[in-house]
Amino acid sequence: MDRKAYTAELAGLRELRGEITAAEKMVAAAQKELDKLTAQRARRVAGLAGYEAAKADAVAKASGLSVGDVVRIAPLLDPTPAAVRAAKADAPVAPVSVPVPVAAPVDAEPAAAVAPALTRPAPAVEQPVPAAPTAAVPAVEAPAVVEGQAVEQPASAAPVVPAEPTAPVGPVASVAAPVRPVAAVGPRELPTLPDGPAGARFEAVTAGLVSKRPSFTQQARSTVFLDAATGELAVRDRVVRLDLGARTPGEILDAVLAAAPGTERIYVTAGGPWHDGAERYSTLKDAVAAWLNTPSERWTTAVGSGRDKLAGHFVHQRQPVGRYAPATAPEGPVTEIRSMGEWFDADGADVVTCRQAFTLLWQALRRHWDDAVLMGSPSQTGRDLWSRTIPTSGKWAGGYPVLSEELRGLLHATGGQGRTELLLPPRVPEQLPALVEYDRTFAYAKHLWKSPVGTPRRITAAGFAAMSGPEQVKALMSCSHWNVRVTVPQGWNHVGLLPAPVTGDRAWIYPSEPGSTFTTWAGGAEIHLALSNHIAPWKVEILGGLLFEDGKPLDEWGKRLKAAWADLTSLSRAHADERQRQAAYLASRAVRSVLLFGLGGFAQRPRLVSGTTPAGEALPAGVEILGQDGDTITWQRQAGFSRDPYAHPEWAAYVWSGARAALLDMKYRQGKEVVAHAGALHARPGTVVYFGTDGIALTERQPWPYRGEPGDYLLKGHLTGPVPHPTSQEEYLKLRGLGRAELAAEQTAGGDR
């Protein structure tokens, strides 16, 4: 090519550039118009849900959408049979909050105490977990669906999550289904690490997906606090009383915005209007969905556009989120209606106290984050605050890589949450001499100092067996996740130590029958405790595992939240004004929720997508049939993981594993010296009645010290016996409430004296 040809080619490129630019503008204009029309269609579909006789298939045909898309926009049009929805709603779900982390790392015992119990995998056929009549009652564990995750999906995402998020505070968790008997479940096979090229994906990260420190500051939203029972509204420094009419979303929005123009977020502190008329519906979730989608001439469901993902409603039995935009100005501002219960149980506090609690919370966080902003939910706030602690120097200055989808799926399937277990007679008496509850104080904040980072290294059974005793101990004490075959030793007469998988959605039991053998996954802290506990070592065969690098991705985040919690806790005890003391206490509970839900947000479960197919037609691959109504089959299937840069299930799994170990054995230290122990293994056999994530119920008081520090066991309730043994989780929670009331009365009487 000569210079003349080169110059001509450049001129041609300039002309082509102009044509491309013009074409791009045309595409952008067309896309904008398409987005506008799509949003109009979504609003019209949502509006049709207000017609009682509306059918999803007719709306789908008229709109050009699939039935599944129509149901995602308007949940009331879901053609799923009522019996199927009722069966799903009645399924037992563990009413536990996000679990607490490991206390302190289990002290390394001499190698001789550990190595003999570690053996190579035996070729013998594995025996199933026996469902003995003396076994504990397992609770079905709900997936860690965090509200902040669920609502941050695009408007087309399914608005009804497969399982409700766990409650942030104890009292909310008192609504529970009866626990299933052991006979109803059987062993469940967990996935293992494949060999060959397929196994390489389990030692990899997702390309181009990294948790990075944000380069922007969150914008605060104008927020008010509403008691929907009395109509009182706290806005800025004044309280007004509103006429809420029939308390529909439209009437609430009209009344609030008339009194406080520009409001973007409404927290309902009491009198949840979403339960109005609930008796007319087969499930409480259906009632909430109907309330959220109440037709209004002035308001419509916010469907979002472009990069705005905060759109659509979040349907939850007790803590729903409604997002609305003016019907006449769909591109205008969005106003949210949310529940105060996301942050804390208001426990009768008025709107002024709730608003003051938010003010104190923001002030406490602001002392540790210059750019702290309270977002819609604790999970969103916790994740945002964590992202602002990502280091700007050192190895992880560029952010933390997200594990491969295969590895995240493995952790999802094998990393159970907190231990929730009711132990039944004859392991405990039919008549309890007392019911004594201990609860670990703000346990998460104590145990975030170490977490797994980077790409894990696979450890095979042969590789582990080839290690020396000290090397094995070091591997178990590092951030690790192990596939093991476990045998309960002969003569064991205490509680189970390791979770065994059983049928159901992520359900686990804790075998303790001598001679029981099962295969499971567990973290290094649990495995080490099973091998080195002070009662009797269990036999553990290492089948394989994942060994991570020890890091501190959550340490700074935890330290700052711990400091904010300590400030507010101190204020709640020392302030001279009763209202301020209550507000400070509620704010301290909100900090706990930020940590609990923030950590739970890292778990990121696979999404579930539901749909319907006419009978006789081929079903999509990999679906689970939920039921059939006439000629329509309803199904669901996993849709995989989203590309969430904050997905770190390895952190949640490590903390949850440590939580289960801490319920059994927690060490109190002064410096490096262990000065006391607490936990189930330090109570007499036959005295443990219940495990509840970060608490234990027993039949007698324990000499466990309480220093008021995160992780300490606090005496929370004492119900004087004889007490009939609870036969279900629901019965236990009722007795727990009585025990807390009795202890409070006892402490009040002691203070008066």
| pLDDT tens-digit readout, 446-474 | 889 899 999 999 999 999 999 999 999 99
CA–CA gap between residue 647 and residue 707 (Å, rounded)? 35
Report the 10 Å Cβ neighbour count for 70. Answer: 28
SS3 of residue 69 by DSSP: helix
Q: Is the pLDDT of residue 158 over 80?
A: no
> What pLDDT, on a 0 to 100 scale, did the predictor assign at position 75?
66
Q: In this predicted structure, which of 1-10, 24-33, 152-161, 409-418 has the lowest mean pLDDT?
A: 152-161
Q: What is the pLDDT of residue 350?
A: 95
Among residues 378, 389, 672, 369, the alpha carbon closest in space to that of 552 is found at 389
pLDDT exceeds cutoff 80 at 276? yes
Residue 105: what pLDDT?
Answer: 34
- Per-residue model confidence (pLDDT) at position 343: 96
Q: What's the pLDDT score for residue 438?
A: 97
H runs (alpha helix) in 542-648? 555-574, 578-600
Average pLDDT on 90-104 reads 33
Least reliable range by pLDDT among 77-86, 259-268, 682-691? 77-86
pTM recorded for the entire structure? 0.73
Residue-averaged pLDDT of the chain: 81
Between 100 and 264, residue with greater pLDDT: 264
Query: What does the pLDDT read at residue 687?
Result: 96
pLDDT given at position 638: 66
Q: Is the pLDDT of residue 311 over 90?
A: no
320 closest CA partner among 364, 374, 377: 377
Average pLDDT estimate for 50-77: 75
Which of 123-127, 278-282, 430-434 bottoms out in mean pLDDT, i.e. has the lowest? 123-127
Which pLDDT value is given to residue 244? 96
Q: Which of 112-126, 366-380, 497-511 has the lowest mean pLDDT?
A: 112-126
Residue 504's pLDDT is what? Answer: 60
Residue 347 has pLDDT above 80, yes or no: yes
Residue 95 vs residue 553, higher pLDDT: 553
Range ranked top by mean pLDDT from 102-111, 151-160, 653-662:
653-662
For residue 613, is pLDDT > 70? yes
The least confident of 66-75, 347-356, 411-420 is 66-75
User: Is residue 642 scored above 70 in pLDDT?
Assistant: yes
Range 505-513 average pLDDT: 82
pLDDT at 630 over 80: no
For 384-417, how does the pLDDT look when each residue is reduced to its tens digit (9 = 90+)?
Answer: 999 999 999 999 998 999 999 899 989 988 988 8
User: What band does 627 get if pLDDT is binned at 50, 70 and 90?
Assistant: low
CB-based contacts of 195, cutoff 8 Å, min separation 6:
none
Check pLDDT > 50 for residue 143.
no
pLDDT value at 594 more than 60: yes
**Is pLDDT of 254 > 50?**
yes
> Does the structure show a pLDDT above 80 at 476?
yes
The per-residue pLDDT for 188 is 81
pLDDT at 402: 94
Higher local confidence (pLDDT), 120 or 353 = 353
pLDDT-derived band at 304 (thresholds 50, 70, 90) equals: low
In the prediction, which pLDDT does 166 show? 34
The per-residue pLDDT for 156 is 29
Query: C-alpha dihedral over 508, 512, 516, 519, to 10 degrees?
Result: 30
Q: So what's the pLDDT on residue 116? A: 32
Residue 575 makes CB contacts below 8 A (sequence gap 6+) with: 581, 584
> Does the pLDDT value for residue 181 go beyond 70?
no
Phi-psi region of 7 (alpha: psi -120 to 50; beta: other; left: phi over 0): alpha
Asked if residue 295 has pLDDT above 70, the reply is: yes
Residue 531, token pair as written in the block: 């091998």
pLDDT over 90 percentage in the chain: 49
Q: DSSP 3-state assignment of 555?
A: helix
288 within 8 A of 337, measured Cβ to Cβ: no
pLDDT higher at 432 or 56: 432
Higher per-residue pLDDT: 52 or 646:
646
CB 645 within 8 A of CB 212: yes
> In this predicted model, what pLDDT tens digit does every residue of 683-735 receive, in sequence order?
999 999 999 988 999 999 999 999 988 889 999 999 998 999 999 989 999 99
pLDDT on residue 3:
82
Q: Where are the domains of the chain?
A: 12-79, 223-390+555-600, 608-638, 658-752
Residue 312, phi-psi category: left (phi > 0), alpha (psi -120 to 50), beta (remainder):
left
- For residue 467, the Cα-to-chain-centroid distance in whole angstroms is 37
Q: Is the pLDDT of residue 133 over 50?
A: no
At 628, the pLDDT band (50, 70, 90 cuts) reads: low
Query: pLDDT-based confidence at 429, cuts 50/70/90?
Result: very high
Give residue 49's pLDDT: 66
Sorted by sequence, the CB contacts under 8 Å of residue 324 that are 6+ apart come out as 249, 250, 253, 299, 300, 301, 302, 334, 335, 336, 337
Query: 223-227 and 265-270 as β-strands: parallel, antiparallel, unpaired?
Result: parallel
Can you tell me the distance from the alpha carbon of 563 to that of 703, in angstroms, rounded to the nearest whole number? 28
* pLDDT score, position 186: 67
The pLDDT tens digits for 211-222 are 999 988 888 899
Mean pLDDT of all residues in 330-340: 86
The predicted pLDDT at position 80 comes to: 62
Q: What is the DSSP string of 220-237?
A: P--EEEEETTTTEEEETT
Position 398 scores a pLDDT of 86
- For residue 542, what pLDDT is reported? 95
Per the CB < 8 A criterion, the answer to whether 143 and 93 are in contact is no
Confidence of residue 310 (pLDDT cuts 50, 70, 90): low
